[in-house]
Amino acid sequence: MRPFLPRWIPLLSIAFVLGSTACSSDSGEDAPADTGVVATDSGAAPEPDAGVVDAGVETGGMDASATDAAPVDAGLADAGAADTGEPTGDAGLETSCDDDFFPSNACGGSVVGTTWRVVDACGDEGDDSLSAIRDTCFNQTGDPTAFEATITSVVSSTGTFAMGVSAATDWEMDIEDELTVTLTVQDSCLSGLSLACESDFEDFLTGTYPDATCALQAAGCVCSLTANAVESDASGSDFDVAATQFSLTGVNLRTFDYCVDRGVLRFRDVAGGRTYVLVED
């Protein structure tokens, strides 16, 4: 015989089971669904706006990198030898003077149509302004070595030279040198002129060369002085250029060996004398 249960007890049990099931369904499934979507909205989606694409390489190395400020912009191409090198002036040119400028050094080159300016001279030839004394000594002794004048140094050399500038066949040469000269005069010359070395002859020289001094030595009467020598102050209407020489026609025909090398002209009279160094004026 089954125990007797009140009729309301089974109904209460069913209601309790149903109530328990409904409660666990609402708090289990609804919460993850609501909060999961929110996480998706605030998660990876903002990264494309604040990530590498906006603030990365495009505003970094490409704008301020070595491509803009590297040596390509401030290097040798703008401020180097190509801009401040030889063509700009005397300081960039090789203008040394060689005492031994001989025909073998002549190279020719483009010399016509340019006015050239003297920047240096050298040589060991005597000063032509002393030719009167030389002639006097030679007339007294008949010995060409009785009077010798040697250039110790060229203090300065100034002037210009041009061919085919003012007119197609005209030339002009106006060159003057300041020279330190050593004179050696033999006693045979001075005695024939009745001149004593350290008094009479020195006094004679100082009339033209104020700084002249003389001393009697074993080699003879040796004097030193500064002379202004005119190489040429002339012009003409005819010249000729052939290979490595040019000739100037005037009172006297003069021929020079010459070489134009990297903007520098060097020339020397084939008869001897000083070598001159010139640049474009």
Query: Which tens digits make up the pLDDT trace of 65-77?
Result: 444 444 554 554 4
All residues at 6 or more sequence positions from 159 whose CB lies less than 8 Å from its CB, including other chains = 117, 118, 173, 174, 175, 176, 231
User: Taking a C-beta distance cutoff of 8 angstroms, is the pair 259, 107 a contact?
Assistant: yes
Instruction: Identify the pLDDT of residue 151.
Output: 80
231 or 53, higher pLDDT: 231
Look at 70-84, 103-117, 132-146 and tell me which has the smallest mean pLDDT.
Answer: 70-84
Are the beta carbons of 168 and 113 closer than 8 angstroms? no
- If you average pLDDT over residues 90-101, what whole number do you get? 80
Mean pLDDT, rounded, for 262-271 = 94
User: Mean pLDDT throughout 223-230?
Assistant: 89
Global confidence as pTM: 0.58
Spatial separation of the C-alpha atoms in residues 90 and 271, rounded to whole Å = 29
162-210: per-residue pLDDT in tens?
A: 999 999 999 999 999 998 989 999 999 998 889 999 999 999 999 989 9
* pLDDT, position 108: 96
pLDDT band of residue 27 (cuts 50, 70, 90) is: very low
Q: Determine the pLDDT at residue 60.
A: 47
Q: Span 235-247, mean pLDDT?
A: 94
Are 237 and 170 contacting, i.e. CB atoms less than 8 angstroms apart?
A: yes
The mean per-residue pLDDT over the stretch 222-246 comes to 92
Query: How many Å apart are CA 153 and CA 122, to the nearest integer?
Result: 7
Rounded Cα gap, residues 190 and 193, in angstroms: 5
Whose structure tokens read 């209407």? 237
The CA distance from 163 to 256, in Å, is 13
Rounded Cα–Cα distance for residues 240 and 46 (Å): 89
- DSSP calls for 181-193: EEEEE-HHHHHHT
Helix, coil or strand: residue 41:
helix
| pLDDT value at 80 more than 80 | no
The answer on pLDDT for 82 being more than 50 is no
Averaged pLDDT, 259-274: 92
Average pLDDT over residues 81-104: 67
- Decide if 224 contacts 180 (C-beta within 8 A): yes
Note the pLDDT of residue 86. 38
Structure tokens at 33: 């669904």
Domain ranges of the chain: 90-280
Q: What is the mean pLDDT of residues 256-281?
A: 93
